[in-house]
Amino acid sequence: MTETAEKLFREALDLTPNERVGLVEELLKSLDMPDPKFDAQWAEESEQRLRAFRAGEIESHSSEDVFAELSRG
């Protein structure tokens, strides 16, 4: 942890339990922010996969087959 983070952590320990919970929730929420660049990359990847599937370039497998294979290890 950086010195700044360590200082914030020590200060956070002085908060009430409810305040700490609120702080943790807000920090976690801040990590789950949408990233338009990342979303655009996934959209393009999805489109490429769909085109390849429709062109017969890739196969699909049922979820039952996938989970059966995973359970076999």
What is the average per-residue pLDDT within 7-14? 97
Question: Is the pTM above the cut of 0.75?
Answer: no
| Distance set, CA 18 to CA 14, 25, 39, 68, 70 (Å) | 11, 11, 34, 44, 41
Sequence ranges of the domains in the chain = 1-33, 36-72
Separation between Cα atoms, residue 35 and residue 32, nearest integer Å: 9
Give 48-63 pLDDT, tens digit per residue: 999 999 999 999 999 9
Separation between Cα atoms, residue 71 and residue 51, nearest integer Å: 30
Write the CB contacts of 20 (distance below 8 Å, at least 6 apart in sequence): 12, 13
